[in-house]
A and B are shown apart, each in its own frame.
Chain A
Amino acid sequence: MKPFNSGHEDLVLDVSYDFYGRHLATCSADQHVKVFKLDKESEEWILSDSWRAHDASVVSVDWVAPEYGRLLATASHDKSIKIWEEDPDGTEGSGRRWTRLATLNDSSGALYGIQFAPSHLGLRLASIGNDGVLRIYDALEPQDLRVWTLTTEVKVLAIPPAHQLQSAFCLSWCPTRFAPERLAVCVLDKALIYQRGRNGKLHNVARLTGHNGLIRSVAWAPSIGRLYQLVATGCKDGKVRIFKITESTVSATNKNNSMTSSQLTKDDSESQTLNDEEPENTTEPALQVEILSEHADHGGEVWSVSWNITGTILSSTGEDGKVRLWKSTYSNEYKCMSVITSQS
C-alpha cells in the first residue's frame, strides 16, 4: 500500500471510516469533503466523490451507523453542521453524489468536533465548538432526515476563549449499549463525562483530571469484554492518558475524581445545562474514575488518540512524528507494542 494524494488543497483536518471500514471520508481546510472507497481487488483507496461542503475549514467528519442509511455529518469553522446523504444513483466524481439534507446553525462559535451517537441511542449527533456549548441534535423522525431538532444544550465552558488564543475542543461517545448514555467532552484543558439522567437531561458525572494543557483528542474505548469503561486522551502537555471508569455507588463518590452530579453542579460553575430551568437536585449515580496509564513517550504534544474495534489497542500520534500502539496486559498495564515513524 503506497501513500496516495488526498487531492485536498489545504490541511486535512479529520478522517472517518464507515462502519464496514470500506469508505473513508476526509475533510480539509480547503472547505471540501472527499469520500474514498476501498477497492476490493487492489485494496487501494479510490476517490468516489469530492465537494465543497462549507464556507470555512471543515474540521470534523463522521459517518452515521449503517442502520440509518448512508449519512455523513460535517462540522466547520463557519459555525454550521451539515448532514449529507449519499445518492446511490449519483455519478461518482460528479460532486453531486452527496446531497445536503440539513444545515444546523445553532453554534455561536467555530465548531471543532461532531460525532454521531452509538446507534442504540437513535439518530443523534453531538457537537462542540469554541462557544463552549455541547449541543445534541436528534432526528426525531428517522424517515425524514431533513429535520433535526436541538434537544440538549450544555454550557461546558462559562466564558468562551479569546479568538486569538489556541484552543482545543473534542468529544467522544461511550459506545456500549449496556451503559447509560454518556459522552466525554473536552474543552481546553478540561475533560468531563456527561451522562443522561433519569430526568432525561445531561449531567456532569465525572471529571478526568491531570491534564496540564489543551486536550487535543479524546477517545472512548469500545468496552467489549470489559465490565468497566476506558477513555483515552491526548494532551498538549505531551501525555497520553488512559482513564478507567467504573460505576460507583453514591457512598463512594467522594473519593478520587468522582462525585455526584449535584455536587458537580455546585462545584463546577462552568457546567450549566442551558435548558435546565429547575434547579438540579437529582442525585445520579456518579462514576469512579482512576487513571490507569500516563505515557510521555511522544516527547511532545500528543495530537490524536483512537481505539481499535474491540478496544484492545490504542493508537496515539504525537509531535515526534510517530504513531504508537498500546496494548494492555492482563493487569491493565498499557505497554507500547509498536511504533510507526514518519521519519526515515
Chain B
Amino acid sequence: MAGTYHSTDDLLIEVDWNNVINDSDENGQQETSTQIKLDPSSGAPIIPLSEESDDIPKDSIEMKFKMNNINSNQVVYFSNETVKCLYPVTIDEASIDNSEGYIEYVTKIFEIYDSLGEDRIFNIPMMGLINKMNNRNHDYNVNLSMEMMISELEIFIDKIKNDCTKINRFYQLENCLSILNCLRIMYFIMDGSEEDSVMNGNDMSKNQIENDKKRQIFINGLIKWVNRSDGEPNADFIEQVFDSTEQLGEEELPENSPQGARDSHVFETEIFWKLINQLIIRGLFSQAIGCIDRSGLKEYLLAQCDVSSNALLDIISLLKEYPADSLSTFREWKNLALELLQNYSMNDDISISGDLRDSIEDTLLIISGDKNCILKYSQFWYESICGFYLFYIPSLELIKTEYLAWSIKKNTINVVNSWEVASKDLMQGKIYPILPILEKYDLATSSFTSGLCQAKGLLEPEIEEQYGIVNYMINSFAFEICSKMNNKKLWPIAIGLICNNPNNSNTYKRITIGELIAHFPYETNDDLEWLLSICAEWKLIDVAKKIYMQLGNTMMYEGNTIEAMKNFSKGGNIEMVKHYSWMLFEASILQSKPLDDIILNTIVSDDASKIDSDIPEEILDKMVTNTMRQTLSPYGVLFKFFQLIEEEKFSSALELLLLLINFQYLPKHYLVLITSKLLYPIYLMDDTKKVSEESILILIEVIEKEWDCKDEKSIIIYQRVIAEEYEKESEHMNLDQDDKQNRKATNYPGTIEDFLKQVRRLLNFKLCDDYIIL
C-alpha cells in the first residue's frame, strides 16, 4: 500500500537541489564549495559570486542577472559606477553531469523504462475476463526493470568509485542504491507469493516453484541491502577483532593449528562472538564460517569437547545448507536447528568454559530464530530485520508490521542517514516520501523510480490525479536535461521521456516537444536529421520551418548563399529565396560577368563541362529545390548572356537580354540596372553592334512602360552604377584624391533622368542606323 505525504515540505524539494559553481579547478573539474553557508531566510545554500568580489560595495547595490540558454555561462552585472566587471556564474542541476558514465547510465535506465512499453501503465482489471497471467507478466516485467535499473546504478557507481573528484557523488549514489535495494525487496519481488503459498499448501505446484525462486531473490536482495548500505562489519573491523587477542599466548593451541588459530584465543572474547553472530544475522554465512575457521575454534573444540565440536560442525553445516531457495526446506532446516539447540543446551557432557558454551548456545539460538537473541546481537535496526526474516518467520508482511517495530525499539533509526529514514518509510508503506530524498541525490534515478513505482501501482491514483507527482518528476527531469544545452546527447532521452510518460496526453506531448525541440543545439547533419525526424513525427511543421530558416541564416552568415537559399526554400520562405536569387542576379550584373560560384553556375548551366564543373547531378539535385530553379532562372538567362558575349555572339546575347528586360516579374529597378550596365555599354555606345528594329521597338516599349525615374530603388541603383563606373575610371586613370572628387563618370549622365534621355537618344540613333543600312 502506498504511503501518503504529510505536507508539501516533505515532497520533491530539497534546498541543495542545485549547485552554483563559480570556479573550476585546474583540470576543469567543477567542484562545489565544501563550506556552504545557509541563507537565513530560506535555508538555501549560499555561494559566493567570486573570490574577487571585495570591490563590490556592500550597500544599496543595483545587482542584476539574466539567465542564459546555456546554463554554464551566464553573467551577473552591476549597474554601479564602481563595479566594471561582469561576473560569470554557472547554474547546474548538481546530479546532471557531462561525464560519459552518466550519459551511459541515463541512457541505459531510459532504455529499461522505455522497453516496458504498455507495462508503464498500471491497470486494475475491473470487468470482463480477468487474466491473472497478464497481471503476473506485468509484475514480472516491472520487477525486472527495477532489478536492471539497480544493476545499472551499481555499474555507474563502480565507474566513479575511484575518482577522487567525485567522492560526494559516490556517496549520493550509494544512498540512492540503498533506498532502491530496499524498495525492490519490499515491493518488486514477492508480489503476493505469500498469499499463494497459503492457498496452495504444501503442493509442489508451479506457483510454489515460482515462489521459492522469489524467496531466493528476496533473501539475496535483503542481504545485499543490509550489507551494502553500511558496509559493516568491514574488513578492518574483522582484523581488529583478531588483532585484539594477538597478545595472548599460543602455547595452548595444538601444534598443527592454522596460523590464525595460533594467534590467540580469539574465540574466548566477547567481541569475536558478537562478530560471528552479527555476520550470521546479516546473512554473511561464508564470512562467518571463514572467521570460525580462522579463529582455530574447531581445532580447539576437537581437542577439548566432542559435544561442542560436533555442535559447531553442525552449525557450520546448517549455515552452509541454509535453504534460501525453498520455504518448505526452510521449515525442515529450522527443525534441525531447534533440535540441535535442544540437544546442546540439555547436554551435560560439555567440557568447555561456561562463557564459550554460552556463546555457542547464543549462536544456536540465533539460527533457531530466537527473537531476543537476534535483537541482542543486532547493532542496527536493519540487521535484526534481516535476522528475523532469515531465522524467525520469513514473512514480508511481518517485516512491515512486527519486525520493524521490534527492531527500531531496540536500535533507533539514525536520522542523519537518509537512506535509513527512507527505508523505514518504505517498510511502513510510504512511497511518496522517498521520492524527494532520491531526487536530492540523483534526478535521473528518482524520476525513473517514480515511473516504476507508478507502473507497479504503488502510488495512490487519487494523489497522482490531484498532484501528478510522477508526471512532474519525469517531465522535470526531461526539462532539466534540455536546460543543459551543452549536453545534446541527452536530448533524445528527454524527448523520449515526454513521449513515453503515460500521464501526458498527445496534445500535451506535441505542444511540449514543439516548444522544446526548437532549442536543440544541433551541430552536425545527424543532429539535424534527428531534429527534423522529431518534427515530422509530431507534425511540427512550423518548428521545422523555423529550423530551416535558422540554418539558412547561419549559412548566409558563413557565405554559403546556395545552401542558405536551399534552407530558406525548405523553410517555405519563398520571398527570401526570391530575394537572394535577385541579389545574385544583381551582383552578377554589377560585376558584368557571371558570379564566381561553381555551384550556382552548375545549377543554371546547360552544359557543366563548359564551366569545368564536376559536381554530380544527384548532388546538385539535393542542393537545389524546384523553387530555387524557378527563382534562379533570370540569373540562368544572364549567365547564358555572358557566355554568348564571351563567344562574341552579340545578336543572340541581345535576344536573351531582351528576354530579361521583357520579363514580367523583373523588378523595375533592374530595368535600369540591365540598361545601364549591359545594354548601354555593350550595344548602345558601340556603333559597330547592330540592333534590329524589332529589338529597338521592344526596348522603347518596355522603357516607356516600366522605366520610373522617381522610383527610389531605381535611383539608388543608378547612383551605384555610376559610382562604380567612376571608381573604375579613376583607378584606370590613376587620379589623385582631389581629382577624384571633382570628376564624374565620363560616359554616364549624373542623373537617372538624363540617363534615360541618353538611352532614348542612342536608341533613336540605332534605329536610324538600321534604316540607313537598309
Q: How close is A172's CB to chain B, nearest CB, in angstroms? A: 12
Task: Check if A317 is an interface residue, CB within 8 A of chain B.
Answer: yes
**Given known contacts A120-B546, A224-B479, A22 and B70 CB-to-CB distance under 8 angstroms:** yes
B12 touches A24 (CB 8 A): no
Interface locus among B221-229, B514-522, B676-684: B514-522
Residues from chain B with Cβ under 8 Å of A86 in the complex: 557
Q: Tell me the complex Cα distance, A224–B72, Å.
A: 20
B476's partner among A7, A20, A312, A317 (CB-CB below 8 A) is A312
Q: In the docked arrangement, what's the CA distance between A299 and B39, Å?
A: 12
Point out the residues of chain A lying under 8 angstroms from B575, CB to CB. Answer: 141-143
A11 with B482, Cβ < 8 A, contacts A304-B64, A321-B63, A340-B20 known: no
Assess whether A343 is interfacial by the CB under 8 Å rule. Answer: yes
Q: State whether B88 touches A308 (Cβ < 8 A).
A: no
**Is residue B69 contacting chain A, with contact meaning CB distance below 8 A?**
yes
CA distance A17 to B52 in the complex (A): 24
Complex Cα distance, B22 from A341, in Å, reads 11
Interface flag for A200 (CB, 8 Å): no
**Pair B68/A17 contact, Cβ less than 8 Å:** yes
- Which candidate, B42-50, B319-327, B377-385, is the interface stretch facing chain A? B42-50
Given contacts A297-B42, A331-B8, contact A323 B65 (CB under 8 A): yes
B244 at the interface (CB under 8 A from A): no
A5, A20, A227, A335: the one contacting B13 at CB < 8 Å is A335
Residue of B nearest to A13 (CB): B79
A319 engages B65 (CB within 8 Å): no
Out of B15, B70, B580, name the residue touching A337 (CB < 8 Å).
Answer: B15
Chain B 463-483 interface residues, beta-carbon cutoff 8 Å to A:
467-469, 472-473, 475-476, 478-480, 482-483
The answer to whether A67 touches B549 (Cβ under 8 A) is: yes
Contact of B553 with A68 in the complex, beta carbons under 8 Å? yes
Q: Are B18 and A325 in touch, CB under 8 angstroms?
A: yes
Q: How many angstroms between the C-alpha atoms of A331 and B47 in the bound complex?
A: 27
| Chain A stretch 12-39: residues in CB contact (< 8 A) with chain B | 12-13, 15-17, 19-22, 24, 26, 38
Docked complex: A295-344 residues within 8 A CB-CB of B: 297, 299-300, 303-304, 306-310, 312-313, 315, 317-319, 321-325, 327, 329-331, 333, 335-344
Question: Does B71 lie at the interface of the complex (its beta carbon under 8 Å from any beta carbon of A)?
Answer: yes
Residue contact A308 to B47, C-beta cutoff 8 Å:
no
B141 on interface, CB distance cutoff 8 Å: no
Whether B11 contacts A1 by the Cβ 8 Å rule is: no
- B42 lies within 8 A of A321 (CB): no
- The answer to whether A339 touches B44, judged by C-beta atoms less than 8 angstroms apart, is yes
Q: Are A340 and B472 in contact (CB under 8 A)?
A: no
- Given A69-B556, A297-B41: A177 in contact with B47 (beta carbons within 8 A): no
Whether a CB of chain B sits under 8 angstroms from the CB of A88 is yes
Q: How far is the CA of A194 from the CA of B556 in the complex (A)?
A: 35
Q: If A12-B79, A343-B58 touch, does A20 touch B546 (CB 8 Å cutoff)?
A: no
Q: Determine the interface band of chain B, counting residues with CB < 8 A from chain A.
A: 35 or more
State whether A8 touches B476 (Cβ < 8 A): no
**Residue of B23, B512, B580 with most partner-chain A CB within 10 A:** B512
For the complex, what is the distance from the CA of A324 to the CA of B64, rounded to whole Å?
11
Q: Which of B64, B73, B512, B576 contacts A142 (CB 8 A)?
A: B576
Query: Is residue A279 within 8 Å, beta carbon to beta carbon, of the partner chain?
Result: no
Contact A321 B47 (CB under 8 A): no
* A344: B residues at CB distance < 8 A: 48, 51, 53-54
Please indicate the chain A residues that have their CB under 8 angstroms from the CB of B546 in the complex: 65, 67, 119-120
Give the complex CA separation of A2 and B16 in angstroms: 24
A209 contacts B by Cβ under 8 Å: no
Say which residue of B88, B478, B485 sits within 8 Å of A1 (CB atoms).
B88
A4 touches B88 (CB 8 A): yes
Q: Tell me if B66 is interfacial: C-beta within 8 Å of chain A.
A: yes
The reply to whether A303 and B64 form a contact with Cβ atoms under 8 Å apart is: yes
- The yes or no answer to B279 lying at the interface (CB within 8 A) is no
> Across the interface, do B63 and A330 meet the contact criterion of CB distance under 8 Å?
no
Most chain B beta-carbon contacts within 10 A, residue among A7, A26, A70, A340: A340
Q: Decide: A315 and B557 in contact? CB cutoff 8 A.
A: no
| Tally of A interface residues using CB under 8 Å | 82
Assuming the A-B contacts A66-B553, A68-B553, A177-B515, are A315 and B50 also in contact, with contact meaning beta carbons closer than 8 angstroms in the complex?
A: no
Assess whether B511 is interfacial by the CB under 8 Å rule. yes
Chain B residues whose CB sits within 8 angstroms of the CB of A8 once the complex forms? 84
Instruction: Say whether B67 faces chain A, with CB atoms less than 8 Å apart.
Output: yes
CB <8 Å contact, A224 and B13? no
Q: Report B727 CB to chain A, min CB distance, Å.
A: 19
* B515-A178 in contact (CB<8A): yes
Instruction: Please classify the interface of chain A as helix (H, G, I), strand (E, B), loop, or mixed, using the class held by over half of its residues.
Output: loop
Q: Which of B1-60 contact A (CB under 8 A)?
A: 8, 11-13, 15-20, 22-24, 39, 41-42, 44-54, 56, 58, 60
Chain B positions within 8 Å of A319 at CB level: 60-61
Whether A12 and B86, one on each chain, are in contact in the complex, defined by CB atoms closer than 8 angstroms, is yes
Q: Is the CB of B516 within 8 A of A224?
A: yes
Question: What CA separation (Å) do A171 and B78 show in the bound complex?
Answer: 20
Is A222 engaged at the interface, CB distance under 8 Å to the other chain? yes
Q: What is the 8 Å Cβ interface bit string for chain B, positions 551-577, against chain A (1 contact, 0 not)?
A: 011101111000000000001010110
> Would you call A176 an interface residue if the criterion is a C-beta within 8 Å of the partner chain's C-beta atoms?
yes
CB contacts (< 8 Å) of A278 on chain B: these are none
A303 touches B62 (CB 8 A): yes
Whether A309 contacts B17 in the complex (CB less than 8 A), given A26-B86, A38-B73, comes out as no
A152: interface (CB < 8 Å): no
B351 within 8 A of A: no
Q: Which residue of B lies closest to A335 (CB)?
A: B13
Closest Cβ of chain B to A32, distance in Å, is: 13
The CA-CA distance from A6 to B85 in the complex, in Å, is 5
Query: Is the CB–CB distance between B62 and A222 below 8 Å?
Result: no
Q: How far is the CA of A321 from the CA of B39 in the complex (A)?
A: 13
| Chain A CB within 8 A of B613 CB | no
A309 CB to closest chain B CB (Å) equals 5
In the assembled complex, how far is the CB of residue A65 from the closest CB belonging to chain B, in whole angstroms?
8
> Across the interface, do A1 and B22 meet the contact criterion of CB distance under 8 Å?
yes
The CA-CA distance from A56 to B13 in the complex, in Å, is 46
Q: For chain B residues 70-92, which have a beta carbon within 8 Å of chain A? A: 70-81, 84-91
Assess the B70–A21 pair: CB atoms within 8 A: yes
- Whether A224 touches B81, Cβ cut-off 8 Å, given contacts A67-B546, A69-B556, A297-B42, is no
CB of B91 within 8 A of CB of A309, answer no
Contact across chains for A20 and B44 when beta carbons are under 8 A apart: no
User: Which one, A17, A143, A333, contacts B69 given CB within 8 A?
Assistant: A17
What CA separation (Å) do A6 and B82 show in the bound complex?
Answer: 12
**How many angstroms from the CA of A321 to the CA of B559 in the assembled complex?**
45
Chain A positions within 8 Å of B498 at CB level: 225
User: A225 near B56 (CB under 8 angstroms)?
Assistant: no
A66/B550 in contact, CB under 8 A = yes
Q: Closest CB of chain B to A218's CB: distance in Å?
A: 13
Q: How far is the CB of B711 from chain A (nearest CB, A)?
A: 15
Contact A308 to B65, CB < 8 A, known contacts A68-B553, A142-B575, A177-B514: no
Contacts of B53 in A (CB 8 A): 3, 342-344
CB distance from B437 to the nearest CB of A (A): 14
Do residues B85 and A4 form an inter-chain contact, with CB atoms below 8 A? Answer: yes
Find chain A residues with CB under 8 A from B556 CB: 69
Interface check A43, CB cutoff 8 A: yes
Chain A residues with CB under 8 Å of B52's CB are 2-3
CB-based contact B22/A309 at 8 Å = no
9 residue pairs bridging A and B, Cβ less than 8 Å apart: A6-B77, A15-B77, A38-B70, A43-B73, A304-B64, A308-B483, A309-B67, A312-B480, A325-B91
Top 7 A-B pairs, shortest CB-CB distance: A67-B549, A21-B70, A336-B42, A143-B579, A330-B472, A21-B69, A1-B88
Q: A67-B546, A142-B575 are in contact. List 18 more A-B contacts (CB 8 A).
A: A1-B89, A3-B53, A3-B85, A4-B85, A120-B542, A177-B514, A177-B515, A178-B514, A225-B512, A303-B63, A308-B91, A313-B67, A323-B63, A323-B65, A335-B42, A336-B42, A338-B19, A338-B47
- Which A residues have a C-beta under 8 Å from some C-beta of B? 1-8, 10-13, 15-17, 19-22, 24, 26, 38, 43-45, 65-70, 86, 88, 119-120, 141-143, 176-178, 222-225, 227, 297, 299-300, 303-304, 306-310, 312-313, 315, 317-319, 321-325, 327, 329-331, 333, 335-344
